[in-house]
Amino acid sequence: MEFGFTEEQQMIRQQAAECLKHECPTGLVRQLMESEHGYSHELWQTMVEMGWTGLIIPEAYGGVGLSFVELAIVLEEMGRALVPGSFFSTVVLAGQVLLAATNDQQKQCWLVPLASGKLRATVAATESNGRWDAGGITVRAEHQNGQFLINGTKLFVPDAHIADLIICVARTGSMEGVEQGITLFAVNRHAPGLTVTPLKTLDQTRRLYEVSFEQVQVPAHYVLGEVGQGWTIWERVFDKATIGLCAEMVGGAQAALDMAVNYSKSRIQFGRPIGSFQSLQHRCADMLLLTESARSAVYAAAWVASQDANDLSLQASIAKSYTNDAYRYVTGECIQIHGGMGFTWEHDAHLYLKRAKADEVTFGDAAFHRERIAKLIGL
Ligand SMILES: Cc1cc2nc3c(=O)[nH]c(=O)nc-3n(C[C@H](O)[C@H](O)[C@H](O)COP(=O)(O)OP(=O)(O)OC[C@H]3O[C@@H](n4cnc5c(N)ncnc54)[C@H](O)[C@@H]3O)c2cc1C
């Protein structure tokens, strides 16, 4: 395992931090939170120009061909800036399915425009049962006359309204042997019978939608990978996306910690900065410890993801269970340290708390991941 970042990786981080500081201040985040789709074309173009949409896509398909570690570095900075819009759904979710499951022709068709920022995409996996395991996939796709017909409803689909392509994780086999018989389909968002409805959610910087399929026709050549073999691919993408989300969460926790420390150094009470008192120092020290430990877990997991190693699921679950608790705690403490002020709409502290609460349940809460760890290590 590599324990330090290379010069190139440090440069990527610095460029990402500087770019987002200027191009994605919280003023823009707030503006997009109040907009219809929470998406800025200008910000998207900036990310395209930075090469981020093609960061982990091989050069043969128009990308930069870097590894998951570089992606995690950029995601950490995105989490720090609370970047809204469809980068995560397009690159970290759909991009990785397309990388892992497509043939050369499909890569030309979807991966090349995705790398150049011309195609936005997402993945529709979760349903009303809210489960993240294979047993939660009940939306069905039937094979009929050389094509597939999808029926059912997906929930919590990120950025579906602005996606050109929705990758649907559907069941083509029986519920017995739940991991068998799941197939991945690339579906045009404008396909007849497909309806996208916005969901009212806590974190308006990340839009979630209900996607309904009613007799949606998908040609057989829009199947990604083998029919019935989709779960293995989706599970690995799920693990990598979980690690990517954790990287964002660490960036958010760092932003909340910085905000709290700066306030405690500048707010004067009883003639001294309030940060000179141990009651706040101890709180800040706990926040630092949690942020740093989460960061270590995430970097280790990102390195494992870059190597496609066998313990990917274990590392993803370790990172997510720890980061869930850390991000929630740090953002909660950030509000406490700001006294009553951090709770007000005008202060940015609540934006991070809402992200932390929403991220906590995305891709599984800490209990889900701790149970998964127990199973994976044979407890
Ligand atoms: C929108 C809003 C609604 C509110 N609603 C209520 C309400 O319903 N009921 C109510 O009672 N109050 C309410 N308040 C007041 C709020 O509870 C106070 O703001 C709060 O008690 C913190 O005081 P402060 O903002 O002056 O914090 P600050 O004095 O800025 O303190 C910031 C942090 O430093 C800590 N601190 C301060 N001095 C020291 C010290 N000497 N040693 C160690 N730590 C220290 C504080 O505990 C806090 O964590 C509200 C405030 C707002 C903004």
Q: Do residues 80 and 29 touch, judged by C-beta distance below 8 A? A: no
Give the chain's radius of gyration (CA, Å).
21
**Closest ligand 1 atom to 272 CA:** 41
- Rounded to the nearest angstrom, the distance between the alpha carbon of 262 and the centre of ligand 1 is 17
Question: Is 304 exposed, middle or buried (CB count within 10 Å of its CB: 0-12, 13-18, 19+)?
Answer: buried
- Ligand 1 pocket, CB under 6 A: 267, 269-270, 274, 277, 279-280, 336-337, 339-341, 343-344
- Rounded to the nearest angstrom, the distance between the alpha carbon of 339 and the centre of ligand 1 is 4
Question: Is 111 exposed, middle or buried (CB count within 10 Å of its CB: 0-12, 13-18, 19+)?
Answer: buried
Phi-psi region of 292 (alpha: psi -120 to 50; beta: other; left: phi over 0): alpha
pLDDT tens digit at each of 379 positions of the chain? 667 899 999 999 999 999 999 999 999 999 999 999 999 999 999 999 999 999 999 999 999 999 999 999 999 999 999 999 999 999 999 999 999 999 999 999 999 999 999 999 999 999 999 999 999 999 999 999 999 999 999 999 999 999 999 999 999 998 777 889 999 999 999 999 999 999 999 999 999 999 999 999 999 999 999 999 999 999 999 999 999 999 999 999 999 999 999 999 999 999 999 999 999 999 999 999 999 999 999 999 999 999 999 999 999 999 999 999 999 999 999 999 999 788 799 999 999 999 999 999 999 999 999 999 999 999 9
Q: What is the token pair recorded at 106?
A: 């499909």
Q: How many CB atoms lie within 10 A of CB 280?
A: 21
